[in-house]
């Protein structure tokens, strides 16, 4: 199996910084450290309310960090303007509700097909790879393919919740219905020519079965690793996740 790319989501470094309103801890420093520790890309979500990542972070991540930047954003005029100006390597279109704590559920590409099509085209015409953050559902994958997105990111939140008992055994993860949905959605997406990514709620304990799905080429992981960094440091947290993913792919 090919190597699995690891994108580190540094949003919650900014959450911590913003709690005191100063400049520390700096998300750009975290991104550089993650790169040294083996990350293949940096992911950041510029939310409409700027609760963590800010516009200036995106500009600095783009110019100061020599790794592909994956900008997560809602499908709004403002975000489209920012993406076309900043030109990140990739954009992941996500649903966004102001009150939610984190991205709850995938983008409803089936309902939004008409609105998504021109946004995907504008971004991709500008040389930006677009992925749609969707639930692992056949109809959603088919729409992503139909509107010409280059990639899908399969939402692993339901999987993570289903297997969240402490340190479940690997075999139990493999049998969970959520794992089956992810496996078949990944297979279909790949058959349709889409690049397959996955993310949300992934931890040391639950990453194995996701890394074992051969069609998946990229994982984006944030909250757990930033939390672990409090205890072990970011370098060790990223290295350990990298090693777990590499072991499955070896
Ligand atoms: N991928 C997408 C599209 C997301 O919205 C998020 C959460 O911001 C992640 C991956 C990372 O999820 P987590 O922080 O739970 O690892």
Mean pLDDT (the chain) is 94
pLDDT for position 208: 96
The verdict on whether 45 is a catalytic residue reads yes
Range with lowest mean pLDDT among 56-70, 123-137, 174-188: 174-188
User: Of 200, 215, 218, 228, which one is the catalytic site residue?
Assistant: 200
As given in the structure block, the two tokens for residue 82 are 């920012």
Q: How far apart are CA 78 and CA 74, in angstroms?
A: 9
pLDDT band at 178 (very low <50, low <70, confident <90, very high): confident
- Kindly report, residue by residue over 143-167, the tens digit of the pLDDT: 999 999 999 999 999 999 987 654 4
Residue 23 DSSP label: S
User: Which domain, by its residues, includes 235?
Assistant: 5-249
With beta carbons less than 8 A apart as the criterion, state whether 194 and 141 touch.
yes
Taking CB atoms and a 6 Å cutoff, what residues make up the pocket around ligand 1?
9, 11, 45, 72, 92, 94, 102-103, 133, 153, 199-202, 220-224
Helix (H) or strand (E) holding 8: strand 5-9
Residue 242 — φ and ψ, nearest 5°? -55, -45
Q: How far apart are CA 10 and CA 25, in angstroms?
A: 11
3-state secondary structure of 92: strand
Could you give the C-alpha distances from 219 to 122, 156, 222, in angstroms and in order? 25, 10, 10
Instruction: Tell me, in angstroms, the distance from the centre of ligand 1 to residue 82's CA.
Output: 20
CATH number, domain with residue 175 = 3.20.20.70
Q: How far apart are CA 208 and CA 250, in angstroms?
A: 12
Q: How far apart are CA 219 and CA 39, in angstroms?
A: 10
pLDDT for position 23: 97
Residues paired with residue 83 on neighbouring β-strands, in sequence order: none
> Across residues 127-150, what is the average pLDDT?
98
Our count of domains for the chain comes to 1
The verdict on whether 72 is a catalytic residue reads yes
- Kindly report, residue by residue over 54-73, the tens digit of the pLDDT: 999 999 999 999 999 999 99
pTM for this model (two decimals): 0.94
Between β-strands 41-45 and 5-9, what pairing exists: parallel, antiparallel or unpaired? parallel
- Kindly report, residue by residue over 239-249, the tens digit of the pLDDT: 999 999 999 99
Residue 51 — φ and ψ, nearest 5°? -70, -25
pLDDT for position 165: 52
pLDDT band at 177 (very low <50, low <70, confident <90, very high): confident
Helix (H) or strand (E) holding 130: strand 129-134
**Quick count: other Cβ atoms within 10 Å of Cβ 71?**
26
Look at residue 170 and tell me whether its pLDDT is greater than 90. no
The more confident residue out of 132 and 250 is: 132
Radius of gyration of the chain measured on its C-alpha atoms: 17
pLDDT for position 235: 98
- Kindly report, residue by residue over 78-126, the tens digit of the pLDDT: 999 999 999 999 999 999 776 677 767 899 999 999 999 999 999 999 9
Look at residue 174 and tell me whether its pLDDT is greater than 90. no
Nearest CA to ligand 1 atom 1: 199
pLDDT for position 168: 46
Q: Which residue has the tokens 């970011």?
A: 234
């Amino acid at each position: 199996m090919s190597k699995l790319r690891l994108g580190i989501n540094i949003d919650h470094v900014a959450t911590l910084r913003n709690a005191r309103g100063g400049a520390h801890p700096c998300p750009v420093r975290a991104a550089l450290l993650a790169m040294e520790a083996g990350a293949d890309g940096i992911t950041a979500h510029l939310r409409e309310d700027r609760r963590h990542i800010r516009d200036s972070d995106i500009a600095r991540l783009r110019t100061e960090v020599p790794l592909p930047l994956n900008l997560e954003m809602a499908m709004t005029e403002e975000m489209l303007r920012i993406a076309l100006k900043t030109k990140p390597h990739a954009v992941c279109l996500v649903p966004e509700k102001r009150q939610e704590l984190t991205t709850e559920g995938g983008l409803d590409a089936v309902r939004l097909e008409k609105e998504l099509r021109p946004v995907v085209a504008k971004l991709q015409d500008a040389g930006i790879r677009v992925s749609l953050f969707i639930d692992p559902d056949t109809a959603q994958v088919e729409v992503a393919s139909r509107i010409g997105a280059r990639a899908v990111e399969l939402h692993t939140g339901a999987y993570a919740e289903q297997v969240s008992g402490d340190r479940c055994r690997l075999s139990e993860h493999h049998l969970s219905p959520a794992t089956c949905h992810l496996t078949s959605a990944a297979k279909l997406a790949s058959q349709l020519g889409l690049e397959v990514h996955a993310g949300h709620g992934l931890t040391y304990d639950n990453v194995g079965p996701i890394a074992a799905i051969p069609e998946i080429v990229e994982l984006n992981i944030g909250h757990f690793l930033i939390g672990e960094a409090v205890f072990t440091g970011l370098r060790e947290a990223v290295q350990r996740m990298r090693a777990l993913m590499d072991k499955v792919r070896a």
